[in-house]
């Protein structure tokens, strides 16, 4: 389970104050693939980064039972001057997994060809996302944080990504950000709706999607 206890997070951008979590207390139950739904700027990606620990709440605590991945789709964890293979080797040591097994898995799954042994700064954003997604699927986590990454690549790669993600969800949990409701319905079974700094958990995915779509029809303000 992931527990938010009175979590406050506010950003200031160009003199404008945006609150993405307004003293939120909420439990994210384990054993679920939870869609994070909200309009652009609601704070979905920032929420994943708070759970991953890459940014801190202004106030309150976030408690996590088990291990949690980095936000897949946010590639700040890769060193731009190292090759894909070198980055994977480093992450294998950090997370205590077999280095060669992880390298073999990522090289095969990400389908980067010769780019796998080229510096990451030469990658397109799609290539970096494929590298990050393959690496996260090659390491066992109790919670996977996924940000739009299954939309990367051609139809065959998307199908392969969703298949392995669903396989992992048979024994793990996830928080999943996507603007595609079709994709959400394929991989999620619950939802959290973000709106104006509030968060509400929906055990019924369709109910959560309906709430989100009603929010989207209203003008923000």
141 touches 67 (CB < 8 A): yes
CB contact set of 91 (below 8 Å; sequence gap of 6+): 77, 102, 135, 139
Q: Pick the closest to residue 24 from 65, 75, 62 (CA basis).
A: 62
Q: What is the pTM of this model?
A: 0.84
Of the chain, the percentage scoring pLDDT greater than 90 comes to 60
1-67+142-156+168-221 maps to which CATH number?
A: 3.40.50.300
Q: Element (H or E) spanning 47, and its range?
A: helix 44-52
Contact of 112 with 130, CB cutoff 8 Å: yes
Residue 2 to residue 102: CA distance in whole angstroms: 27
What single string gives the DSSP state of each residue in 133-159?
Answer: HHHHHHS--SEEEEESGGGSS-HHHHH
> In the chain, where does the domain assigned CATH 3.40.50.300 lie?
1-67+142-156+168-221
Q: What is the pLDDT of residues 31-83, one digit of tens each?
A: 999 999 999 888 898 899 999 998 999 999 999 999 998 887 655 568 889 99
């Amino acid at each position: 389970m992931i527990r938010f206890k009175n979590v406050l997070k506010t950003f200031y951008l160009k003199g404008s104050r945006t609150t993405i979590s307004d003293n939120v207390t909420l439990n994210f139950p384990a054993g679920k693939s939870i869609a994070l739904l909200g309009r652009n700027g609601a704070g979905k990606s920032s929420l994943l980064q708070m759970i991953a620990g890459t940014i801190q709440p202004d106030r309150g605590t976030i408690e996590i039972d088990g291990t949690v991945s980095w936000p897949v789709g946010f590639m700040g964890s890769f060193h731009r001057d190292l090759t894909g293979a070198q980055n994977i080797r480093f992450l294998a040591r950090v997370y205590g997994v077999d280095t060669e097994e992880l390298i073999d898995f990522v090289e095969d799954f990400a389908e980067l060809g010769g780019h796998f042994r080229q510096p990451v700064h030469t990658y397109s954003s799609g290539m970096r996302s494929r590298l990050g997604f393959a690496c996260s699927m090659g390491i066992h986590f109790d919670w996977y944080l996924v940000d739009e990454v299954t939309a990367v690549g051609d139809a065959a790669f998307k199908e392969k990504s969703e298949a392995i993600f669903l396989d992992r969800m048979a024994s793990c949990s996830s928080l999943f950000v996507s603007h595609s409701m079709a994709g959400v319905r394929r991989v999620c079974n619950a939802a959290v709706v973000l709106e104006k700094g509030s968060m509400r958990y929906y055990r019924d995915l369709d109910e959560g999607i309906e709430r989100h779509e009603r929010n989207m029809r209203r003008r923000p303000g």
